[in-house]
Structure 1
């Protein structure tokens, strides 16, 4: 191959949408089309037949993820029009052998997917000897969310496997070029094409990087920096969607309107109007952290005002969340500081010093521990458990990408219920 092949994974549920996106991706320079596993599960072999009918000149990959009945499933996909059929690399050797025999009978190729294989290099060598045509270094979506990387897997195989190598999982334009340099002959891209509002444009950028690959120095970031950067790209609703509609605080609003906060929590337990511990927390909190205060639901007296806010700004604290009231909001709004509270009241309390800092608290219906991540915008505030923060941030970014494509299809004249096929997918 002169240039590496760009394969577009149509991991969608609706065939009509898949056909449209396939057409746009081919316009942008894609080479192969993949009927993704979700599409095959949703639409069956008709997905493969329709893609072949609409794009007869394109190589069609069927991601069957064959784990059993190798002959039967390869035969099904081949007769429907697939040129390459994906099987699971960790399937039993008898399944692999049957799939390979069937592929020779029907004139198709076999791609073995290394997803979840414990010893990928050993297994790849075994599969090569058995007669598999292509090995795919694939890290699945759920694994990507926890930080596993497909190109890391590719590098373990490069120069040690003598059949074509494919790579899949979290590939964008920059990573596509990197994958080619590491020996990928087939680069498989799903979400960064099919969820784009400009499918052809996104495909074109990836194609350009693959045709002229170059290593670009990556700035090394700490886990906290990476998590924060991801959360800054998404909204509070994106995050609750990624958490299966959990984590949202109740009855709280953004005092300064269109502002955003992201950071780890410094928690404060105080009592109605006692502003000693909230103010002391300013000295404890670090840059980019969020002070989260349980004011014992006291909305008749405020433990927070303009002077405390100014102190936060000077220390570069990311924001403040109060299960209670605030005052001096005219001054605070001029500062555009990310402050979230339940109420506004002019009454100030007294600094009695009751309560604790950095202990687990309950704030607006959610438990918050020191170090948990907080994201807030005009839609509200969400608490993310610290041990899942990076994963949730990655998942929220995928939610945002989904919405971008849906938004574009609505702009073209569809409706939300049509795009998501609401009636078809209602629970029966």
Structure 2
């Protein structure tokens, strides 16, 4: 395989939508069409049959993830029209052997997916000797969310494997180009194409990146830098969805309207409008952090105003959240500073010094600890536990990508109910 192959994974649930996306991605330059595991589980072998009818000359990959009854599952996929059947690399050797025998019988190929294999290099060598045609260096979605990288896995295989190697998991245009530069034979792309509003255009961008003669290797960011970058790309609703409808603060309004706030929390506990600790927190907070103040929901007196906000602006603090009231909002709005509060009142409290900074607090219905990530926009504010911030940021980006495609299908004339096939998927 002298020119790298672009395989597009149709990891969606609805066959009708998959067919439309397949047509668009072929128009953009895709070489192979993968009937993804979710689509096979949802629609069965009919997904493979229909795809073969619509694309009679295409290479179709049935991502069966075979774990048992290798001969039977490979046979059914082959008879339905698959050109390549994907099995699990950690399946028992007997399953692998039967899968290979069945594939040879029906004149198709096998691909082994290394997802979750404890020793992928050793297992890949064994699979090659057992007759597997293609090895797939795959880091699954849930693993990607925690920072595991498919290109890192691929680089461990290149010196040991002599059959074609596919790379799958979190591949965008930059990473596709990098993978080809490193020697990958097959680039498997899913979400960055099939969830795009412009599937054809996204496929072309991936193809162009793969075909470039040179490619600049991206410098890796720190986890904090990557987390911040991802969170700046998504909305508070995206994050709430990624957290299974959790993390949302209640009762807050964006005082300055259309703004975006992302940063780690500096927490403040105060009472009855005492503004000493909130203001002292400005000196504690670092650039791009968010001050989160629990005023016990008291809205008759404000622990925050314009002068404190100006101090934050000068220091580069990312925003402020107040479980309570704020004043001087005309001046604050002129600064366009990300500030969220429950109410607006003209009167301030007194700087008595009660409370503490960077203790665990309850704020607007959520537990907030120093270092947790806070994201706010016009839809509200969400709290992300520090230990899950990178994962949630990645998952929120997946939510946003999914919505982009749904939005495009609605623009074309569908309704949300039709796209989501709500009646079909209602809980029985």
Q: Partners of 2:110 and 2:387 in 1: how far apart?
A: 39
Task: Tell whether 2:392 aligns with 1:392.
Answer: yes
Deviation at 1:181, TM superposition (A): 1.7
Contact 1:180 1:213 in 2 (8 A): no
Instruction: Map 1:228-267; keep pairs closer than 5 Å.
Output: 228-267=228-267
1:220-235 equivalences in 2 (<5 Å): 220-235=220-235
Conserved 8 A contact 1:326-1:344: yes
**1:83-117, Cα deviation, whole Å (9 max, x unpaired):** 00000000000000000010111111000000000
Superposed CA deviations along residues 331-356 of structure 1, whole A, max 9, x for unmatched, are 00000000000000001100000000
1:212-251 Cα shifts (integer Å, max 9, x gaps): 2433142342211111010000000000000000000011
How far apart in 2 are the matches of 1:236 and 1:215? Answer: 34
Which residue of structure 2 aligns with residue 311 of structure 1? 311
Matched, 1:43 2:29: no
Q: Which moved more, 1:28-37 or 1:213-222?
A: 213-222
3-state SS of the aligned residue for 1:324? strand
Secondary structure of the corresponding residue to residue 374 of structure 1: strand
Q: In structure 1, how many angstroms separate the alpha carbons of the residues matched to 2:324 and 2:423?
A: 42
Q: State the superposition RMSD in angstroms.
A: 0.7
Q: What's the TM-score, normalizing by structure 1?
A: 0.99
CA contact (8 A) 1:8 1:189 kept: yes
Count of residue pairs the alignment pairs up: 428
Partners of 1:42 and 1:231 in 2: CA distance: 31
1:188 aligns to what?
Answer: 188
- The 3 A distance-change label for structure 1 pair 185 and 217 is closer
Counterparts of 1:59 and 1:220, CA distance in 2 = 35
Partner of 1:427: 427
SS of alignment partner, residue 423 of structure 1: helix
Runs (5+) with no aligned partner, structure 1 = none
- Is the 2:60–2:82 Cα contact (8 Å) retained in structure 1? yes
**For residues 51-130 of structure 1, what are the structure 2 equivalents within 5 Å?**
51-130=51-130
Deviations 1:188-213 (A, max 9, x none): 00000000000000000111111124
1:177 touches 1:213 (CA, 8 Å); kept in 2?
Answer: no
Where structure 2 has 5 or more consecutive residues not aligned to the other structure, the ranges are none
- In structure 1, the partner of 2:31 is 31
2:179 paired residue number? 179
Q: Residue 269 of structure 2 contacts residue 294 of structure 2 at CA under 8 Å; is this kept in 1?
A: yes
Show the 5 A alignment for 1:129-140: 129-140=129-140
Question: How many Å separate the matches in 1 of 2:299 and 2:323?
Answer: 8
Which residue of structure 2 aligns with residue 340 of structure 1?
Answer: 340
Contact 1:171/1:189 (8 A) holds in 2: yes
Give distance in 1, aligned partners of 2:220 and 2:72. 48
Using the size of structure 2 for normalisation, the TM-score is 0.99
Does the Cα contact within 8 Å between 1:178 and 1:213 map onto a contact in 2? no
Q: Quick one: distance in 1 between partners of 2:73 and 2:118?
A: 25
Secondary structure in structure 2 of the residue aligned to 1:342: strand
Give yes or no for contact 2:319–2:338 (8 Å, CA) kept in 1: yes
Tell me how far apart the structure 2 counterparts of residues 25 and 328 of structure 1 sit (CA, whole Å).
Answer: 53
Query: Post-superposition, which runs of at least 4 consecutive aligned residues in structure 1 deviate over 6 A?
Result: none
The answer to whether 1:273 aligns with 2:273 is: yes
8 A contact 2:178–2:217 mirrored in 1: no
Corresponding position: 1:358 with 2:358: yes
* Cα distance in structure 2, aligned partners of 1:356 and 1:310: 22
- CA-to-partner distance for each residue in 1:253-287, whole Å, 9 max, x for gaps? 10000011000000000001100000000000000
